[in-house]
A and B are shown apart, each in its own frame.
Chain A
Amino acid sequence: MKLRRLIGFNLLTAVVLGIVGFYVGWRLGHLVKAPSLDYFGDTGQNDIALFVAYFTGVIGFLVGLGFANYPIQRILGKPPSLREKETEGIGRYFGLCTDHKVVGIQYLIGIGAFIFIGGLNAMLIRFELLRPTHLAWNGNNYLTLVSIHGTMMMGMMTSGILGPFANYFVPLMIGARRMAFPRIEALTFWLLMAAGAILMTALAFGGFPTGWTGYAPLSEQSNMGMDAYIAFFALVGVSMALLGLNMLATVITMRAPGLSWGRLPIFVWGTVTTSVLMLLAAPVLISTLFMLALDRTAQTSFFNVQAGGSPYLYENLFWMFGHPEVYVLALPGMGIVLELLPVFARKPLWGYRLAVTGMVGIMLLSFLVWQHHLFVSGINGDLRPFYMLSTELISLPTGFIFVCALGTLWAGRIRLTVPMLFALAWIFNFLVGGLSGVFLSDVPSDVTTHGSFFSMAHFHYTIMGGLIFAFFGAVYFWLPKMTGFELNERLGKVHFWVMFIAFNSTFGPLLVIGFLGMPRRVVTYAGYLQGANDWVSVSAFVLGASMLVFLANLIWSQVFVRTPAASNPWGSKSIEFQLPSPVPVHDFDRIPTFGPDPYPYGGVEEGGGYDGRRPAISPARPTA
C-alpha cells in the first residue's frame, strides 16, 4: 500500500516529469534559429531555450501532480478520479488535494522552506558586509545573493499569510466547507513551488544582478540567470492573481446565512482587501515581465533606449505592480494583528468599521502612490508634489489600524501569550516602519534616503517587522488548531524575545547607516561604517539563530512530543476555535449561522462569533 503511493500522480512523479519537461524544452528551444541568437552565439547564452524549458518543465510538473487528469477525463467522458478528494492519509500532502486545510498546511511548509532559503541568503549577505572591502563573495555572487534574497522573499511572502492561513481559516470563518475553486486553490500553491525551484536554477545559469526590481536595461544585459527571475516572478504573479480571484469569489459568494459584510472577522477583511490588490496588481507584473522576456528573446525594444524604448516604462510598470505589492505584504499582517488583539485583550475589536475603512483606504490609495519610488529619477518632476501627498495620505488609513489596535487594548485583560507578544511587537515595529516611511515620502528628505540602507531598513521594518512578526503570531495562534498538537510555549517565548531584540538591533542601526550615506546592494562600503555594519551583521546572525529556535520548537513539539491541543486553548470566540483540533475533514456537520458581532467579548452575547445556539459540530459525533 505504502509503496503503491509512490507511483501515480504525486510530487515524485511531478519532479520527474518536471525535469523531463525541462530537458525536452531545452532541446526544443535550441531548434529555434532566431537571428538574435547569432549575435550571442559564442557565449552559450540561449534565452529562448531556457524560457521554453521553464515552460515545459512547469507543464510537466503540473501534469505529474495530476492537474491534467480532471479536464482530460471530462473530455473523454469518463468519471473524474476522486483521488484529489481523498480524506485521509499523509499522501494527500504530497500531491494535488482540494481540501483547503491540506492546502493551507502545504503552503505553510512549502513557503516556509523557501523563506528559510531566503533568510539563509541574508546571512551570507551580512557575512560579506563584516568587512568594508571584499571578504567572501565576488561581485557577481554577492549581487546574486542579494537578488535571490529579495526576489524570493518578495515573491513567497505575497502568499505568506494568505496561503497558509487564509486558505485554511477563511472558509471556516465564513461558514463554508471549501474554497470557491478548490482545484485553483491547489494550483496556486504548486505554481509557487515550481516558481521557487525555478528561481534556484538561477544559480546554475550565472545568477542575476538586478535585485528584486529587475530594472531594465540592466536586466536586458544580464546573463541567463535573469530568465529565472522573469519566470519565477511571472509564475508568482499568476499564482497571486489566481489566489486573489479565488479568495474574492469565496468570500463574495460562499458566506453562511446571516454573515453580512459587517459581521466578517477582521482577518477576512484583510484577506479581501489583499485579494483585490493581488488580482489587480499581479497582471501588471506578468505583462511587464512578458515584455522584458520579449526584449531578451525576440528583439523587441520596450525598454531598449537605442531602439526607441524607455527604462522609465519598466520602472513605471514595475512600481505600478510593486507598490500595491508591498501592501499585499502589509494588509494580511494588519488583519492578523487585529484578529489576535481582541482574543488576548478579551475585548471586542475597537472601531471595527474604522479598521475596515482603513484597510479599504490602504487598498485604494496603494494604486496611486507608485512614483514615490521614482522621486529622483527625473520622471514627471512636476508630479512629485502629488505623489508626496498621496503617499502621506496613506498614513491616514494606516493610522486607523493603529488606533483600532490601541483602542482594543483599552481597559482589556491583556494576556501576554506568545501570539499576543508577536502582535504587540507588530505595533512597535510597524510604527518604526511607518515613521521611517515618512522620510522617504517627503521629497527633500528622500533625496538623501532614496536608494540607501535607510530605505532598505524601512521596508524591512514594515515587511519583516510587520508581516513576518504577524506571520509568527498567526503560527503560534493557529498551528495547534491546524495540526492538533501544541507548540512549546517556553521555546516560543525564547524565540520571540531573541527575534524581537535581534530584529531591532539589526534594522535600527541600518536606518542610521543609511542616513550616514551607505547605498543599498553594495559589496563595499566606507571604512568608518565598519563598526556599525559589524554590529548589524552580528545582530543579523542572532536573528537567524532565533529562526532555528522556532524550527527546533516546530520539530520538537509537532514530531516528537505531540501534546494534543485543546480545541480552544486561547478562549477565543471565533468559530474555528469552536471546532475540534485538528479541524475535521468535513469542517462542520451543518453550515453554522452567525450572530451580529464577530467579537462578542464582554459578556454581551452568549455563545461565539457564530450563533452558538446551533452548534456547528454535534458533540456526539466522533471527529478523528
Chain B
Amino acid sequence: MWSSRSHGHRIAALTVIGTAIVLPLVVFVLGPNMPPGKGTPVASSQVTDNTVLLVVMTPFTVFILVYLAYALVAFRAAKGEGLIDGPPTRGHFKAQVAWLATTTAAVLFLAIFGTAELLADNGAGGGGGPNPVAKPSGAVLPVQVIGQQWEFTYRYPTYGGVETASLVLPAGREIAFHVTSLDAVHSFWAYELGVKADANPGVDNVAYVRTKKPSTFQIRCAELCGLWHGYMSDTGRVVSPAAFSTWIAARRRQFAPIMKYLPKYASSYAPDPSYRAG
C-alpha cells in the first residue's frame, strides 16, 4: 500500500504533466480555431475570450479527470474482497481551503476579465439595449434590423431610410445595428461578425461591430419565433466602401417609388394587433 502522501504527490504530478501537455494544445491548436472566427474585431475578441476560458478551465478539468482515473485504478476494491471499509477521513481542512481559494480566484478572474472584454469591445457584439453603456467613439453607420415572421429586413436611416431585403455593409466601418421586431421575439445572429441581438417588438436593441475586409456572413434567427423559424436565415455581405455606395444608391433609386408607403423611420414600429398565426 502506498501512503496517502504518495497518492497525493502522484495525482499532483500527473495533473501538472497533463496540464503541461494539454495547455499548449489548447492555446495553439484549439484556441485559434474557436468560434466565431476572426471576421471582425468583436469576433476575434470572442475567440480570445473563448481561449482564455479554456485556459482557465484546463487545470481544473485535468485535475478532476486525473483524480477520477487515478481513484478508479488505485482505490478499487480487489476482486472478490468482502466489505472492507476505507479509512474514516471526514475532510481535510487544508485541501478544502486550497480548493476554495483556487476556484474563487478563477471565478473572480473570469468575471473581471469578462466585464473588461464586454466594455472594451462596446458590448462584445451583443445587444445592449437602447442605450448601451459602452459606445464606440468615432462615427458609426446605423443600420436597422427589423425582425418579422419570418424574415429580416434592413433600413439605412442615413440613406433616406431605404428598406432592403438583404444586408450589405461597407468594409472598415463601425456599424451600429438597431434591432427591433414587428411581432414575436426574434434574435439577429450574424455569426461571422460575432453579433447577436434579440429583436423585441417596441424595443431598439443596439449592437456595435466594426467590419473588416469584404466577405460574406451567415444570418440566422436565434430565438424561436414560430412556424418558419427554421427557415429564417440569410446571407449578408461586407463590400468595399465604393461598392457599398453604388449598391445603396441603386437601392434608393429602385425603391424610391414605394418609399411613401413605408412608415417613417423610427426606433421601433407598432406591431399589427390583429395578427394571429402558428
Residues in A lying within 8 Å of B, measured CB to CB: 39-40, 43, 139-140, 142-143, 206, 209-211, 213, 215, 217-218, 221-223, 305-307, 310-312, 315, 345-354, 374-382, 384-385, 388-389, 392-393, 395-396, 399-400, 402-403, 406-407, 409-416, 424, 427-428, 431, 435, 438-439, 442-448, 450-452, 515-517, 519-526, 571, 600-604
Contact = CB atoms under 8 A, between A and B. Distances in A.
A521 B277 CA distance: 18
Interface stretch (B16-24, B60-68, B239-247): B60-68
B148 interface: no
Interface string B218-247: 101111111111110100000000000000
Contact of B276 (A142, A209, A221, A353): A221
Nearest to A415: B77
A352 B91 CA distance: 8
B99 A403 contact: yes
B87 interface: yes
Contact of A388 (B42, B89, B96, B114): B114
Contacts of A379: 129
B266 interface: no
A354 B96 contact: yes
Interface string B124-148: 1111111111000000000000000
B114 A377 contact: no
Nearest to A402: B64
Given A351-B91, A377-B200, A601 B86 contact: yes
B184 A396 contact: no
A411 B7 CA distance: 9
A215 B99 contact: no
Contacts of A353: 91
Interface stretch (B166-174, B201-209, B253-261): B201-209
B35 A424 contact: no
B46 A414 contact: no
B215 interface: no
Interface string B191-220: 100111110111111110000000000101
A602 B88 contact: yes
Given A139-B227, A447-B194, A602-B86, A442 B189 contact: no
Interface in B19-65: 34-36, 42, 45-46, 49-50, 53, 57, 61, 64-65
9 contacts: A209-B227, A218-B184, A347-B88, A376-B127, A409-B71, A411-B89, A517-B218, A524-B230, A525-B230
Nearest to B2: A411
A142 B123 contact: no
Contact of A407 (B95, B121, B191, B196): B95
Nearest to A518: B220
Contacts of B100: 396, 399-400
Contacts of B262: none
A388 B115 contact: yes
Nearest to B109: A392
Interface string B95-116: 1100110011001001100110
A519 B92 CA distance: 45
Given A310-B202, A392-B107, A450-B196, 9 more contacts: A351-B91, A352-B91, A377-B185, A442-B53, A444-B124, A448-B46, A451-B187, A517-B218, A602-B85
A50 B86 CA distance: 60
Contacts of B65: 428, 431
**Ranked 6 nearest A-B pairs via Cβ:** A602-B88, A378-B205, A523-B230, A381-B128, A444-B124, A451-B222
A605 B34 CA distance: 54
Given A411-B7, A411-B75, A517-B218, A427 B68 contact: yes
A444 B75 contact: no
Contacts of B49: 442, 444-445
B53 to A, nearest CB: 6
A519 B7 contact: no
B117 interface: yes
A497 to B, nearest CB: 15
Nearest to A306: B273
A414 B50 contact: no
Contacts of B104: 396
A347 B89 contact: yes
Interface of B: 4, 7, 34-36, 42, 45-46, 49-50, 53, 57, 61, 64-65, 67-68, 71-72, 75-77, 81, 83-92, 95-96, 99-100, 103-104, 107, 110-111, 114-115, 117-118, 121, 123-133, 179, 183-185, 187, 189, 191, 194-198, 200-207, 218, 220-231, 233, 270-271, 273-278
Contact of A217 (B110, B185, B196, B221): B185
Nearest to A351: B91
Contacts of B184: 215, 217-218, 221
Nearest to B125: A447
A40 B273 CA distance: 13
Nearest to A517: B191
B87 A347 contact: yes
B64 A406 contact: yes
Contacts of A515: 34-35
Given A306-B270, A381-B128, A142 B183 contact: no
Contacts of A352: 90-91
Nearest to A379: B129
A615 to B, nearest CB: 20
A218 B71 contact: no
A598 B127 CA distance: 50
A184 to B, nearest CB: 36
Contacts of A310: 202
A311 B185 contact: yes
Nearest to B48: A444
A428 B68 contact: yes
Contacts of A445: 46, 49-50, 53, 114
A523 B227 CA distance: 10
A461 to B, nearest CB: 14
Nearest to B189: A519
Contacts of A210: 224
Contacts of A217: 183-185, 201, 271
Given A407-B95, A413-B75, A378 B220 contact: no
A401 B231 CA distance: 42
Contacts of A525: 230
Contact of B223 (A215, A395, A403, A415): A215
Given A388-B114, A438-B110, A517-B218, A143 B68 contact: no
A346 B126 contact: no
B96 A524 contact: no
Given A345-B75, A378-B130, A139 B228 contact: yes
A446 B194 CA distance: 10
Contacts of B53: 438-439, 442, 445
A603 B65 CA distance: 30
Nearest to B227: A139
B119 to A, nearest CB: 8
B86 A375 contact: no
Given A411-B89, A412-B86, A438-B53, A221 B127 contact: no
A204 B138 CA distance: 56
Contacts of A350: 89-92
Nearest to B231: A524
A376 B187 contact: yes
A139 B121 contact: no
Given A311-B185, A601-B86, A443 B126 contact: yes
A402 B77 CA distance: 22
A321 to B, nearest CB: 18
Contacts of B71: 406, 409-410, 412, 414
